[in-house]
Chain A
Amino acid sequence: MSAPTARRAELLPRGKKPKNPYWVSSIGFVAPGVLLVAVVLYLPFIWTSWISLNEYSGLGDPEFVGIENFTAMFADPGFLVSLRNTLFWVIGTILLPVGLGLLIAVLSHGMRGATWFRLPFLVPYAISGVAVGVIWSFVLQTNGALSQAMAFLHLPGADLRWLLDGPLNTVMMILAASWQGAGVNALLFGIGLQSIPKEPIEAARVDGASGFTLFRTMTWPMLAPLTTVVVGLAIVGSLKTFDVVWAMTQGGPGRVSETLALTMYKETFVNNDYGLGAAVALFLTVITVLASILYLRRQLADSRSM
């Protein structure tokens, strides 16, 4: 308990709750915000949850079918491919944009002209995901820029069908997303590195630590709070991957590169199966929230125990 609160509690008569004379007016001030959140967040969530238990084409009235949409969802092989691809995206995003971001930040830390070194990595972040998808489609399409360049250099793999064969297309799209996302992670890690106090690092240097040992034993543990945030954002962001995939393959050919967010969109708006789309949306929400809670609880517990 913080000190001012403790002092207020001492001043109040024992057994009496603190009474705010302005509580009536405070409701009036809080109400617009609460109402806004209720209308734009809670109501849609409750509505989506309800629709997931119904068969609904967007027209007429929903028809209650219980958990039928959920059983249909898990029985659909396309959904399982989508789930696998989403897992690839989570792992890939942690390894590549986060890993590369860390590498760029560490390499450029303390370097003269570090801003200029980091700037090119940051520029793609200003582009929308759809534009990134379109640009990389030009590069990765059959006989596109990459294949032509590889053929010119007589490199093996020039005839690979980058966007047609799964899971290769998912891997390539993760690379495209990394091109966009690494810069901002480098920026965040850069801020983290700057906020690390110099004294312990200097002390470690005096004790003979340098290079990777210094990073592993001193810098990395001290970066932990920021790493928690960056990785947490990466997990949530990758679970709802949509724009790059939509722009590059639309989840195809067939359904081989679909992610859960794409499945949700296609079932709802392309196939007019709002119930099944809502079931996928709910599933995606649950795993996103669960992943966030599990990850953050573990990370925060670790940092408290440090």
Chain B
Amino acid sequence: MRTKMAMATAMLASAALALTACSGDDGGGGGGDPAETTLSFFTDKAAWESSFEDMNGASEGVAPELDFTGYSDPTAYDAFIKQSFRTNERPDLFTWHTGDQLAQLVDQGLVAETTDIWDEAIANGYVTEELAENYTYEGAQYCVPLNVVYWVMYYNTQVFEDNGVEVPTTWEEFIDVADTLVANDVTPLHQMNIIFEFVWFQAILAGLDPEAYDGLSDGSVSYTDPVVVEAMETWHQMQSDGYFIDPGVETDPQVLLQSGDVAMAYFGTFFTGQLNDLDMVSGEDYGSFLLPAVNGDQPQTPVVVETGPLCVGADSANEEAALAYSEWWMTTDAQTAWSESRGDVSFNPEATVTDEGLQEITTQATSEDSLQMRRYLEATPNDIYTVASEEFGAFVTNNDDPMGHLQAIQDAADAYWAENS
């Protein structure tokens, strides 16, 4: 009898162990007033927790509250989100990536459609139609923009003053500034061989021929086409002329800009926050300008725009409330609160941006004189981007013949488009 009891207990223990691993909580109940609902919210922007807390203050009584879970490792975060769709724990709301990564979720029917929200937001002037293209798949929209980032040139005002150079308005003036700085033993530009190794390729090619830049993302233009080669040759020449800091220097770019080790750094507008954290003051210690187009004959100046989505998990526990939150998120009130908390630009042109420099950039980037272009990372299919980032990383490091790198990327592109055209 005792033996049987012991056996039964042990069996139960093992069964419980297995069940614990498999079981899951269904999460909070849906229905009711969305403003009273708490949404499970996941993001890889762990450092932004205080801003999301500020948004809970702003949404009180008008939109749901966020229950924040932040990941600091983007790779681990992506794997977690993908896994969550295989369980009953689908996130109500989560941040993701535009481009190929969002297309994958849309293909699998994992994110809720937001076409109605976009239609209303565009009608209200909360967002531009141009931005909607980043969120459109087969005519329908998915997710809403969490944020928007314009890629601009930051510069150290003191270094500019000391070397007698001014903000350039044409590519020729930009090259003159760089040459003057080189002649005065100042390194003009920052660049990296990881994470943002592709940004100078996008800046030069978009500035040389925006259509060719766009064509790379749908396979209609080859990486070995003359205009792409010309862009790489221009970059190659700039590296040879000593425009860039050695990519082996691992000091943070904001520190290098502050110390004057580099005079300029081409970054997204999120860089403002990093400079402010060093107590640098916008307009006094640093400034920013749109990089002039390489080809001055272009009617518009290309501005690279990066945008990250805020998505609603399809069939999540609080799907309706999460969609209500998405709708509120795009309003001017919400975006003014967000911009104030983040000290950053907003996708909503009506939102108040307190930083004058950023306000100016927003005005320029959304004006008729500018042409908004998708960032290379999001514009390029993942299979091609993977190879391209490795090739650009090697090119930045070694400044060798560009053709080998372009051919390697084109080989990856050929393989991709053969299967996905």
Q: Taking beta carbons and an 8 Å cutoff, which residues of A are in contact with B? A: 22, 24-25, 27-29, 31-32, 35-36, 39, 57-60, 78, 137-138, 141-144, 161-164, 250, 252-256, 269-272
Closest B residue to A266 using CB positions: B386
Q: A36-B17, A142-B249 are in contact. Are A59 and B3 (CB under 8 A)?
A: no
Q: Is the CB of B14 within 8 A of A32?
A: yes
Q: Which residues of B contact A144 (CB under 8 A)?
A: 250
**9 other A-B residue contacts (CB within 8 Å) besides A32-B17, A142-B247:** A29-B10, A39-B18, A164-B248, A250-B194, A252-B193, A252-B390, A252-B394, A252-B397, A253-B393
Closest CB in chain B relative to A164 CB, distance in Å: 5
With a cutoff of 8 Å between Cβ atoms, the chain B residues found around residue A22 in the complex are 3
- Is B368's CB within 8 Å of the partner chain A? no
Question: Among the listed B8, B13, B18, B194, which residue makes an inter-chain contact with A252, where contact means beta carbons less than 8 Å apart?
Answer: B194
User: Would you call B278 an interface residue if the criterion is a C-beta within 8 Å of the partner chain's C-beta atoms?
Assistant: no
Question: Which one of B30-38, B43-51, B74-82 is at the interface?
Answer: B74-82
Complexed CA–CA distance, A144 and B17 (Å): 51
Residue of B nearest to A253 (CB): B397
Bound-complex Cα distance A99 to B393 (A): 35
Among A36, A161, A253, A255, point to the contact of B396 (Cβ < 8 A).
A253
Instruction: Give the distance in Å from the alpha carbon of A230 to the alpha carbon of B383 in the complex.
Output: 41
Which residue of chain A lies nearest to B392 when distances are taken between CB atoms in the complex? A254
Which residues of B231-260 have CB atoms within 8 Å of chain A's CB atoms? 246-250
> Are B382 and A31 within 8 A (Cβ)?
no
Q: Which one of A27, A137, A162, A254 lies within 8 Å of B7 (CB-CB)?
A: A27
B18 and A31 form a contact (CB under 8 A): no
Take A252-B193, A252-B393, A271-B382 as given contacts and tell me if A163 and B104 are in contact as well, using a CB distance cutoff of 8 Å. no
B21 touching A39 by the CB < 8 A rule?
yes
Known contacts A141-B248, A271-B383: does B10 contact A58 (CB below 8 Å)? no
| B110 lies within 8 A of chain A by Cβ | yes
**Please, which residue of chain B has its CB at the minimum distance from the CB of A254?**
B394
Q: In the complex, which of the residues B75, B193, B249, B382 contacts A143, with contact meaning CB atoms closer than 8 Å?
A: B249
Please judge, given known A-B contacts A25-B6, A32-B14, A164-B248, whether A59 and B382 are in contact too, CB under 8 Å.
Answer: no
Tell me the smallest distance from the CB of A227 to a CB of chain B, in Å: 38
B378 within 8 A of A: no
Find the A residue at minimum CB distance from B250. Answer: A141
Is B390 in contact with A255, judged by CB distance below 8 angstroms?
Answer: yes
Given contacts A141-B248, A164-B247, contact A272 B194 (CB under 8 A): no
Residue of B nearest to A134 (CB): B250
Whether B248 contacts A254 by the Cβ 8 Å rule is no
* Cα of A164 to Cα of B78 in the assembled complex, Å: 29
CB-contacts of B114-142 with A (<8 A): none
Please, how many residues of chain B have a CB less than 8 angstroms from a CB on the other chain?
Answer: 42
Given contacts A141-B250, A270-B75, A272-B382, contact A254 B82 (CB under 8 A): no
A252 to B390, CA, bound (A): 8
Q: Could you list 7 examples of A-B contacts with CB < 8 Å?
A: A24-B3, A24-B4, A25-B10, A58-B82, A164-B398, A252-B194, A272-B78
In the assembled complex, the CB of B404 is this many whole angstroms from the nearest CB of chain A, namely 11
- The CA of A28 and the CA of B248, in the complex, are separated in Å by 59
Q: Is B108 an interface residue (CB 8 A)?
A: yes
Q: Which among B3, B7, B248 has the greatest number of chain A C-beta atoms within 10 A? A: B248
Known: A39-B18, A252-B393, A270-B75. A28 touches B6 (CB 8 A): yes
A28 touches which one: B9, B75, B194 (CB < 8 A)? B9
By beta carbon, the residue of chain B nearest A33 is: B14
Docked complex Cα distance between A35 and B21 (Å): 12
A138–B252 Cα gap in the complex (Å)? 12
Interface string of B70-107 (1 = CB under 8 A from A): 00000110110011010000000000000000001101
Q: Which of A22, A27, A142 has the most CB of B within 10 A?
A: A142
Contact A163 B248 (CB under 8 A): yes
* Bound-complex Cα distance A27 to B194 (A): 54
- Interface members, chain B 245-287 (any A CB < 8 Å): 246-250
Q: Give bound CA distance, A283 to B397, whole Å.
A: 31
- A-B CB proximity, top 3 nearest: A142-B248, A254-B394, A28-B7
Shortest distance from the beta carbon of A170 to any chain B beta carbon, whole Å: 15
**Complex CA–CA separation, A69 to B306 (angstroms):** 33
Residue among A25, A137, A143, A163 facing the most chain B CB atoms (10 A cut-off): A25
Say whether B62 faces chain A, with CB atoms less than 8 Å apart: no
Chain A residues within 8 Å of B6, by CB: 25, 28-29
* A300 nearest CB across to chain B (Å): 35
B249 pairs with A141, CB closer than 8 A: yes
Whose C-beta in chain A lies nearest to the C-beta of B100?
Answer: A272
A39–B85 CA distance with the chains assembled, in angstroms: 21
How far is A256 from B398 in the complex, measured between Cα atoms in Å?
12
Q: Quick one: given A22-B3, A269-B79, are A164 and B104 in contact (CB under 8 Å)?
A: no
Contacts of A272 in B (CB 8 A): 78, 104, 382
Contacts of B14 in A (CB 8 A): 31-32, 35
Contact A32 B390 (CB under 8 A): no
Cβ contact of A24, chosen from B7, B76, B105, cutoff 8 A: B7
Q: Is there an interface contact between B75 and A59, defined as CB atoms closer than 8 Å? A: no
Kindly state the separation between the CA atoms of A179 and B157 in the bound complex, as whole angstroms: 43
Q: Is B403 an interface residue (CB 8 A)?
A: no
Given the complex of chains A and B, what is the CA–CA distance between A255 and B193 in angstroms?
A: 12
Instruction: Tell me the smallest distance from the CB of A135 to a CB of chain B, in Å.
Output: 12
Q: In the complex, what residues of A have CB within 8 A of residue B21's CB?
A: 39
CB of A59 within 8 A of CB of B105, answer yes
Bound form: Cα–Cα A294–B10 in Å: 39
Give the complex CA separation of A36 and B21 in angstroms: 10
Pair A25/B3 contact, Cβ less than 8 Å: yes
Q: Bound complex: CA of A33 vs CA of B247, how far in Å?
A: 51
Contact present for A270 and B386 (CB under 8 Å): yes
How near does chain B come to A218, taking the closest CB pair, in angstroms?
49
**Are A254 and B393 in contact (CB-based, < 8 A)?**
yes
Q: How far is the CB of A41 from chain B (nearest CB, A)?
A: 14
Q: Are A256 and B386 in contact (CB under 8 A)?
A: no
B11: interface (CB < 8 Å) = yes
Q: Complex formed: what's the CA distance from A142 to B359 in Å?
A: 37
Chain A residues with CB under 8 A of B107: 59-60
Q: How far is the CA of A138 from the CA of B104 in the complex (A)?
A: 39
* Chain B residue at minimum C-beta to C-beta distance from A38: B18
Give Cα A29 to B4, complex, Å.
11
**Contact residue among B4, B250, B382, B393 (Cβ-Cβ distance under 8 Å from A137):** B250
Q: Is B391 an interface residue (CB 8 A)?
A: yes
**Cβ–Cβ contact A32 & B7, under 8 A:** no
CA distance A31 to B390 in the complex (A): 48
B11, B21, B107 — which one has the most chain A CB atoms within 10 A of its CB? B11
Complex alpha-carbon distance, A299 and B286, angstroms: 65
Give chain A residues whose Cβ lies under 8 Å from the Cβ of B75: 269-270
